């Protein structure tokens, strides 16, 4: 009997495991045997680290319980809080935006996961600094992801490049089991330095979503991860089924996306950022809850919560609106349909 599964990687239907989407490799043994130089070499080679179980299962599930209670208190979201089943009419619009600095992101249980000794020890090892010399943004990207929702292909430099170049993202599934069908992070192995993606890094990789005049949109390079595969067949998308206590760490230029949530359940996860404490930090993501609200109101919204451009009316009301497709044309990237026609992929 075949173990292959059909899942949605972004908006592309793919088989797992396959050449298109392979099984992600666990590097936690490097950390457990204190081979920190090997850990950093692996991060430099692949652009990411998958570390299984390093955060502790129980602490992550305690944090999850806090989020579920918050969703129950909001109401009109869950049918069954024990199974975290969503109401049929509930998706992105009804799910609360939990990002920032708030009672959920900064609850005792959540901070035990996001800023505790376990994560600081791992991040310190990955950065090559003392755990106490690591610094994290006050802003936390805590998310509830509904049916069919996914994150498109992007690198984090487009959102947070105004501080240390050593900034690392930590993606943490706040789930007992974050399967590919529920929605899981996929990494583009080697995309941070591959020759075939050099132009992408030199253009999109240096793009600042808030600095580009007129830009509107998610900041994602594409919703189709196979567009990246066609650009450089040497890189590979990898992912897996994650469990409570697992963590992914990756660099600013590593391309990543997520599988779509194909279930009727909400998927909870959190992204946070760490860097050496003695380096400049992106002040947009530092401050109290009130300061974060003010700063967030001044910023453009990115990712899944960004405003959808209406091509029929947007330019009537706003001068020179710029989309990611406009920028890709400026940077010399062919439309994906043209690439498919030429390559047959």
Query: Mean pLDDT, to the nearest integer, of 282-292?
Result: 95
177: CB partners within 8 A, 6+ apart: 241, 242, 243, 244
Torsion, CA 127, CA 129, CA 130, CA 131, rounded to 10: -20
Q: What is the DSSP string of 160-180?
A: S-SS-TT-EEEEEE-SSEE-T
Predicted local distance difference test score (pLDDT) of residue 306: 63
Residue 318 CA from chain centroid, whole number: 30
* E strands, the chain, in order: 5-9, 12-16, 21-23, 48-51, 78-80, 85-86, 134-136, 141-145, 168-173, 177-178, 185-189, 236-239, 242-243, 247-251, 256-258, 267-276
Does the bond joining 17 to the residue before it have cis omega, within 30 degrees of 0?
yes
Per the model's pLDDT, the better-predicted residue between 339 and 64 turns out to be: 64
Q: Which domain range does residue 176 map to?
A: 5-343
Q: pLDDT (tens digit, 9 = 90+) per residue, 187-245?
A: 999 999 999 999 999 999 999 999 999 999 999 999 999 999 999 999 999 999 999 99
Asked whether residue 298 carries a pLDDT value surpassing 60, the answer given is: yes
Average pLDDT over the chain, rounded to an integer: 91
Predicted local distance difference test score (pLDDT) of residue 23: 98
Give the count of alpha carbons within 13 A of 212, CB side only: 22
What is the CATH number for 318? 2.60.120.620
Predicted local distance difference test score (pLDDT) of residue 305: 60
Q: What is the DSSP string of 219-231?
A: --SBS-HHHHHHH
Q: pLDDT (tens digit, 9 = 90+) per residue, 42-87?
A: 999 999 999 999 999 999 999 999 999 999 999 999 998 888 999 9
Q: pLDDT (tens digit, 9 = 90+) per residue, 113-157?
A: 999 999 999 999 999 999 999 999 999 999 999 999 999 999 999
pTM for the full predicted model? 0.92
Domain count, the chain: 1
Paired tokens of 290: 């009130």
């Amino acid at each position: 009997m075949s173990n292959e599964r059909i899942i949605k990687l972004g908006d592309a239907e793919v088989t797992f495991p396959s050449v298109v989407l392979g099984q992600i490799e666990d590097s936690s043994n490097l950390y457990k045997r204190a081979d920190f130089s090997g850990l950093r070499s692996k991060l430099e080679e692949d652009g990411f680290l998958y570390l299984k179980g390093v955060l502790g299962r129980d602490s992550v599930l305690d944090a999850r319980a806090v989020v579920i209670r918050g969703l129950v208190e909001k109401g009109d979201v869950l049918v069954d809080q024990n199974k975290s089943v969503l109401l049929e009419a509930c998706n992105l619009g009804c799910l609360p935006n939990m990002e920032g600095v708030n009672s959920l992101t900064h609850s005792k249980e959540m901070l035990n996961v996001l800023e505790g000794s376990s994560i600081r020890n791992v991040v310190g090892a990955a950065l090559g600094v003392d755990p106490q010399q690591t610094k994290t943004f006050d802003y936390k990207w805590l998310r509830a992801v509904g049916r069919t929702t996914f994150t498109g292909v992007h690198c984090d430099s487009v959102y947070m490049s105004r501080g240390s170049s050593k900034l690392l993202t930590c993606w943490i599934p706040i789930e007992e089991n974050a399967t590919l069908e529920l929605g899981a992070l996929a990494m583009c192995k080697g995309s941070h330095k591959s020759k075939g993606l050099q132009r992408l890094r030199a253009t999109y990789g240096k793009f600042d979503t808030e600095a580009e005049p007129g830009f509107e949109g998610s900041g994602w390079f594409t919703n189709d991860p196979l567009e990246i595969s066609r650009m450089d067949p040497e890189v590979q998308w990898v992912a897996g089924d994650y469990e409570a206590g697992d963590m992914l760490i990756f660099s600013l230029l590593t391309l990543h996306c997520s599988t779509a949530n194909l279930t009727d359940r909400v998927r909870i996860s959190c992204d946070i950022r760490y860097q050496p404490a003695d380096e400049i930090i992106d002040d947009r993501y530092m401050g109290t809850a009130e300061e974060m609200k003010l700063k967030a109101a001044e910023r453009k919204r990115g990712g899944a919560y960004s405003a959808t451009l209406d091509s029929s009316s947007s330019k009537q009301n706003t001068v020179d609106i710029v989309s990611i497709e406009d920028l890709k044309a400026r940077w010399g990237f062919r439309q994906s349909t043209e690439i498919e026609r030429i390559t047959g992929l």
